[in-house]
Amino acid sequence: MDPYSSGSLALQDRSGVRDPAAPTGRSRMPGISVVTAAFLEAQPMLVIGAADSAGRVWSSLLTGPPGFVRATGPATVSVAGGIPAHDPLAGAVTPGGTPVGTLALDPRTRRRLRLNGVAAPSARGFTIAAEQVFSNCPKYLQKREWYGSDPARPEAGAARHGEALGPDQVRRVRTADTFFVATVAPDGADVSHRGGTPGFVRVDSPRELSWRDYPGNAMFLTLGNLEADGRAGLLFPDWETGTTLQLSGLAHTEYGPEGRVTRFRVERTVEIPAASPLRWSPPEYSPSNPAPA
């Protein structure tokens, strides 16, 4: 069985990278190594992507003391605390099993790990039966130091729902250097990272965003999923205040003089003040970041 979807393979062929991408695809195995387990257990945050009960795709930020994510078997991960009640994915993980994509990112070391599989509730929170576990390169990852959790942080504020970006949200997106994108496919869900110099995400209107697709690992997992299913969920974290901005909508990729450009149409927005207790330093930008167009 080919490790890539038909959409990913089509884009690899179009870009002439199918052969170079093949070894990376074979590395997408369910096993959790000792090194992988140690990396997961050291992280204070985990990004998760899935579809809610209405079929909308979201990307959400989970946090906890290091160890809240831990391997409990050769292909099983336990996540303590579950998904907060204020999050749009609350209730998405069901006893019957929910396809999820997760991304463990360590800004301190510019390391990232993707673990995709099927989640189910547990006494601790939920577990994930891993189907794909693989690392990505550090390209476009901004380096940050972790200041710890804010002891004076108020409880997460009430979720603010909308159908388009407000003025403050437009500013937040335009000044972002990082966001996460969740996509889905017949064989599961996936979450990936996007990074760049502030301005790399364009707000074309309060309901339309776009960004250039920078050269990466040639896997085309996100774009391949979008070829077959345009549903996507974006997460913009505020690294200094803990506020999160989540967007759900439809995306597609266009090809033109700028190269590959992904266009995203906003259908739903959720902003949660102080959703995360984690506080991070200002960024040291990745040397790989291209200048904004």
List, for residues 124-139, the tens digit of each pLDDT value: 999 999 999 998 889 9
CA dist., res. 229 & res. 221, Å (int): 12
CA dist., res. 289 & res. 194, Å (int): 11
pLDDT grade for 18, boundaries at 50, 70 and 90:
very low
pLDDT grade for 17, boundaries at 50, 70 and 90:
very low
Least confident range of 21-30, 53-62, 139-148: 21-30
Whole-number pLDDT of residue 169: 98
Whole-number pLDDT of residue 29: 67
pLDDT grade for 5, boundaries at 50, 70 and 90:
low
- Residue 260 reports pLDDT greater than 50: yes
- Residue 30 reports pLDDT greater than 90: no
Q: Which fold has domain 6-280?
A: Pnp Oxidase; Chain A (2.30.110)
Q: What is the widest separation between alpha-carbon atoms in the chain?
A: 52
Share of the chain above pLDDT 90, in %: 76
CA dist., res. 246 & res. 88, Å (int): 9
- Mean pLDDT for the stretch of residues 180-201: 95
Contact 221, 8 (CB under 8 A): yes
Domain ranges of the chain: 6-280
* Alpha helix (H) residue ranges in 119-210: 167-174
CA dist., res. 251 & res. 268, Å (int): 13
The predicted model scores a pTM of 0.91
For 274, which DSSP code?
T
Using DSSP, state whether 209 is helix, strand or coil: strand
Can you list the positions of beta strands (E) in 166-216? 178-185, 188-195, 201-205, 208-212
Whole-number pLDDT of residue 23: 46
Whole-number pLDDT of residue 11: 55
